[in-house]
């Protein structure tokens, strides 16, 4: 039996409410657990841990965390999210696009600059 269950990246955010709204209202995640300064969000077999960090306690500075989520059908996900993605600022959504490294990807930038990439393998041509 496999011991690994899933990867749940921590995303350090400056505004937990804005990040939570982005993940739930735009990307379709659900809040599984919430406490002051922390939220655990899930969708199917994928989860993110949002940790609010203000001022000097924010360990990320100008760096941004990028998370890659493997999906079975990136175009179906794009069709689902498209009406909500349209409300994001210009440049915050890229794709779906076929990459040279044989992945089809949809990239979405969240309110704190974190980039979430949804991708699937493309057929060998």
> What confidence score (pLDDT) does residue 77 get?
94
pTM: 0.74
| Six token digits for residue 114 | 């974190």
Does 76 fall in a domain? yes
- Identify whether 93 is part of a domain: yes
| Residue 5 within a domain | no
Q: Which of 30, 23, 18, 25 is nearest to 84 (CA)?
A: 25
On whether residue 36 sits in a domain, the answer given is: yes
Look at residue 2 and tell me if it is in a domain: no
Identify the segments of the chain with pLDDT beneath 50. Answer: 58-62
Q: What pLDDT is attached to residue 59? A: 45
Residue 20 within any structural domain of the chain: yes
Q: Supply the pLDDT for residue 43.
A: 95
What is residue 31's predicted lDDT score, i.e. its pLDDT?
97
pLDDT of residue 70: 87
In a domain, 1, yes or no: no
What CATH code is carried by the domain that includes residue 50? 3.10.180.10
Model pLDDT, residue 97: 94
- Residues in contact with 83: Cβ distance below 8 Å, sequence separation at least 6, in sequence order: none
pLDDT given for residue 56 in this prediction: 53
Count of the separate structural domains present in the chain? 1
pLDDT at residue 125, rounded to an integer: 66
For residue 39, the number of C-alpha atoms closer than 13 Å in the C-beta half-sphere is: 22
Phi, psi of 38 (to 5 degrees): -150, 140
Residue 60's pLDDT is 41
Tell me which residue range forms the domain holding 33. Answer: 10-54+64-121
Residue 15 forms part of a structural domain? yes
């Amino acid at each position: 039996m496999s011991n690994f269950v899933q990867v749940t990246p921590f995303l350090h955010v400056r505004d937990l409410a804005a990040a939570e709204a982005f993940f739930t209202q735009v990307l379709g995640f659900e809040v599984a657990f919430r406490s002051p300064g922390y939220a655990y969000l899930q969708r199917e077999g994928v989860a993110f841990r949002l940790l609010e960090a203000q001022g000097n306690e924010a360990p990320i500075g100008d760096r941004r965390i990028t998370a890659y989520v493997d999906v079975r059908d990136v175009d179906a996900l794009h069709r689902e999210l498209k009406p909500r993605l349209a409300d994001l600022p210009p440049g915050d959504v890229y794709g779906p696009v076929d990459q040279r490294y044989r992945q089809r990807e949809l990239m979405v930038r969240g309110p704190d600059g974190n980039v979430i990439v949804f991708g699937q393998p493309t057929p060998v041509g």
